[in-house]
Each structure stands twice: as structure tokens, then as C-alpha cells.
Amino acid sequence: MKFAKSVSGLRGEITVPGDKSISHRSVMFGSIARGTTEIRNYLQGADCLSTISCFRAMGIDIENKGNVVLVHGKGLHGLTRPKQVLDCGNSGTTTRLISGILAGQNFDVTLTGDASIQKRPMKRIIEPLSLMGADIASVKGNGCAPLKISGRPLHGISYTSRVASAQVKSAILLAGLYADGETRVTEPYLSRNHSEIMLNYFGADVRTELPAAASGSLKSGSRENAPDCSEPGILKSTPAPASPVSGVTAVIQPADELHGGLVEVPGDISSAAFFLCAGLMVPGSEILIRNAGTNPTRAGILDVVRNMGGDIALINETAGSGEPTADILVRHSSLHGTVIEGALIPTLIDELPMIAAMACLADGDTVIRDAAELKVKESNRIAVMTENLTAMGADVTETEDGMIIRGGKTLHGAVIDSHLDHRIAMTFAVLGLCADGETEILGAECVNISYPNFYEDLQKLTKK
Ligand code: S3P
């Protein structure tokens, strides 16, 4: 797939597909809830289709009608042993979250995924789930998938995770539903809280304890706890803390039953990020991104863009779907470098490739640190970004836990190896619009993982 400099700017409106993290959770939690869960705006990307097929393989009737998905849940103990190995495809979220659910079942199962999934670290869930009494092992003994899980009675634990990871936190919370007592998971910084919000909405008892310096305890998303809830059955939440805080604990009580409901999935801020940055980067651009999720535990890119001098405005802000959303108006801006570190990192972890590329067009240096997690994503995103940005003429230094980008160099087109990482492919499709000459992306079709129509949508904006 090839991209060339856009001279006239990107103009128009875009509605990005549904949030990947929330889509996964809606099918998973809907499957182990009682009743039917109606999911609107479900992401039809390959990752979320993997989640649907895993739960179908465990006896759940899931009607995928395109924009609406109906999950006919069978309750916490209603899953049945799959006949085959569960295939999680390229999806880390499917692999890790499903492990938390499988740990508490009364059957055994093996799960695996593609070549990338079989290289991603699973010890981070094997360790805490084993402490809860789960029988879970890496089949090859290398700490990666395939994983063999034999369901067992589980115990509540108090666990401190070294990484701020919503996948780790969620796996433990899901196992905690099946445990014999309270389960606590502390992470260094608050990671995305979609599980907490949706589990509460489905009737579980999950709360978030903030450090003393912040504001005590927070219960997000419960139906009772949603004073602005005007339409019964619509997912609502109390908002997450406005800014990230350190040392956060999620606490869950064992559940007797979850209850399905209506889930309206907001547009994925991680997909919106490509248009947000494209609008800022390509001269002459003005783009309105409709209905993007702006949950503060996910939307750190908005802070970074503002820090870099980007002209963005949030309009039509709503909390009406349990997860806050807004339309984002973005105009081309002259940008300057910034520092991205600490508690901000988990709130924009998937956007860092795009932000690093954008920093190449900014005046001055951008420093990204505390982001070693980038090395264990769908590709090693520190190495792959450094290699590809350098190929386009950018001045980038790879560090142990991030990158230093010296902005302002003239970029030229190059052949980009996506390493079959969807976010790398989309990042360079955007950066190609800002470089002299042609940029060719190898493995471009991998955008199918999270945004099947990405290139068509980008193309539409160049035609306005
Ligand atoms: C996700 C959490 C993040 C993110 C991933 C989706 C989730 O991973 O990078 O794309 O849905 O919980 P980690 O929890 O490993 O940081």
C-alpha cells in the first residue's frame, strides 16, 4: 500500500469504529451474565471477532448483526468446555482476559493465537492467577501462549502488579468474580478502567481505591450509582479521576450473578488518534471526529496534543453512555516538543507510535520515557518505530524505556515494514502524507485487526 504527500490538507467528518477494549469486554461479560446483552457499535475488527468465536466455542449464542451484537449470556457457570483449542488470533486482550474467566470454570482448555501472540508475555497473568489457586501453565514453558488452563476453585488475593496493565488487572478481577473472598489488585498507575465500569454496570461489586493524596474510593459504573441515568439499562458511569494518580487498587467481591444489559460502545480514541494527529500534521487540515471515547484513563493523547500546542476542541461532550464521549474538532497546528512519562503513559500507551511520528514534525525535542511496555505489544514498538522513522529521515534515538525525537527534519518517503502491527501501519499511512515522495507500507492489510476500513476513511478525507 502506498501513500504520498497530501498538499491540500484533510477535510471533513469522520466517525471511527467502536472501541476495541470495550467491545471485547461487552462480549466477555455478556457471555457470563444472565440475560441478553445488546451491544451497539461493536468493533468488527479481527481481534474482537476472535473474542466472539472463543465464546461461541464455549456454547454461547452470539448473534453478530454487524453494528449490533446480541449475546445470550448463560451466567457465571454457563460456559461449556470447547471442543478445540481456543484461538485468540492476534489479540492480547482476548488471551489475557479470557484466562481470568477460564481459571474459575470446571473444565480445562488450551488457548493460543498467532505468531505475535505466542511471543507476548503471559507470566504477568500466570503468576497472579496461580496465586489465586488456578492451574494455568505455558505449554512450551516459555511464559507465552499456548496456555493450558484447568478450572479450579479460586481464592481472593491481594496482588501488586509491577506493570500498569488493564489486561493484567482485568484478568485478576474476572477471576475474582469466582473467588471465595475479596480480590485486590494494585497497579503503579491507573490503567484503563473499562472493566471496572462495565462489571459494575453488570451488577458486580468493584471499587477503585485511590492513594490517600487523591480522593479515597470510587465506584464507577454501577446502575445505582449513576445519578444522571435517564434511560434505564443504558451503561452509565461516574467519571474516572480527572488526572492519573499513582498506586491505585481495584477491589472486587465474588459475584453470585451478573446481569446483561445494553452497551453502547463509543468510538475508539485509539483509532481517532490517527485522524487527530493527521489533522494537526497535514497543512490545511480541519477534521471533525464524531463520538470518540474520552474516558480519562484512555484519553491522555488529548493532554499531550494540548501540551504540544495542538488546536483541538471537544464539543458535544456526554457521559450518557457510561463512558464519556465527545466530538473532537482538530485543525492543522504548529507543534512543539514535549515530555511524556509516568502516570500519563498507560492513558495513551497505544497512541505512542502515532505521537512519536507526530513529534518528528514538531519544533524541538520530544522525550518519551517509562514506556518499556511498548516493547511487548503486537511488535516491539520502540525498535520498530525507531527503525521506520529513521528510514524516513527523522532524528530518533531508541532508549531502554522510550524514544527521544528531535523534531523538524525533512521527511522523505520510504519502504516501511509494519511487522504486521496494525498501529504501526496506520501511523506510517498518516506520516506518509507529510513526507516528500512515496511511502510504501509492507503488510498494510494488518489494519484489519482494529480498523478494517482505515485506508478508505483516510482517503475520503483527502478528497474533500
Ligand atoms: C488493553 C490494554 C492495553 C492496550 C491494549 C488493550 C485492554 O494493554 O495496550 O491494546 O483492552 O485492556 P496492557 O493492559 O497490556 O497495557
Q: Does residue 278 contact residue 249 with C-beta atoms inside 8 Å? A: no
Q: For residue 330, what are the CA distances in angstroms to 274, 325, 420?
A: 12, 16, 29
Which residue's C-alpha comes closest to atom 13 of ligand 1? 165
Give the per-residue pLDDT at 220: 62
Which of these CATH numbers, 3.60.70.12, 3.30.499.10, 3.65.10.10, 1.10.510.10, describes 2-17+266-460?
3.65.10.10
Say whether 32 sits in a helix, a strand or coil. coil
User: Quick one: pLDDT at residue 67?
Assistant: 82
Give CATH for domain 20-264: 3.65.10.10
Report d(CA 254, CA 177) in Å as an integer. Answer: 4
User: Global pTM?
Assistant: 0.94
For the record, the C-alpha cell of 2 comes out as 502506498
Q: Is 165 in the pocket of ligand 1 (CB under 6 A)?
A: yes
Q: To which residue does cell 441478553 refer?
A: 36
Backbone phi and psi for residue 308, each to the nearest 5 degrees, phi listed first: -85, 0
- Euclidean distance between CA atoms 388 and 103, whole angstroms: 40
d(CA 263, ligand 1 centre) in Å = 20
Cell of 204: 458486580
> Identical fold at 2-17+266-460 and 20-264?
yes
With a 6 Å cutoff on the Cβ, whether 237 touches ligand 1 is no
Active site residue 350: yes
Q: Answer whether 33 contacts ligand 1 (Cβ < 6 A).
A: no
Residue spans of the domains in the chain: they are: 2-17+266-460, 20-264
Q: Alpha-carbon distance 26 to 264, whole Å?
A: 9
Eight-state DSSP code of residue 18? B
Q: Is 166 in the pocket of ligand 1 (CB under 6 A)?
A: yes
Catalytic position from the list 47, 350, 421, 457:
350
Q: Could you tell me the distance, in angstroms and rounded to a whole number, from the CA of residue 336 to the centre of ligand 1?
A: 28
| pLDDT at 246 (0 to 100) | 59
Per residue of the chain (464 residues), give pLDDT as tens.
788 777 789 999 999 999 999 999 999 999 999 999 999 999 999 999 999 999 999 999 999 999 899 999 999 999 999 999 999 999 999 999 999 999 999 999 999 999 999 999 999 999 999 999 999 999 999 999 999 999 999 999 999 999 999 999 999 999 999 999 999 999 999 999 999 999 999 999 999 998 866 655 666 655 543 333 222 233 333 334 444 455 899 999 999 999 999 999 999 999 999 999 999 999 999 999 999 999 999 999 999 999 999 999 999 999 866 899 999 999 999 999 999 999 999 999 999 999 999 999 999 999 999 999 999 999 999 999 999 999 999 999 999 999 999 999 999 999 999 999 999 999 999 999 999 999 999 999 999 999 999 999 999 998 75
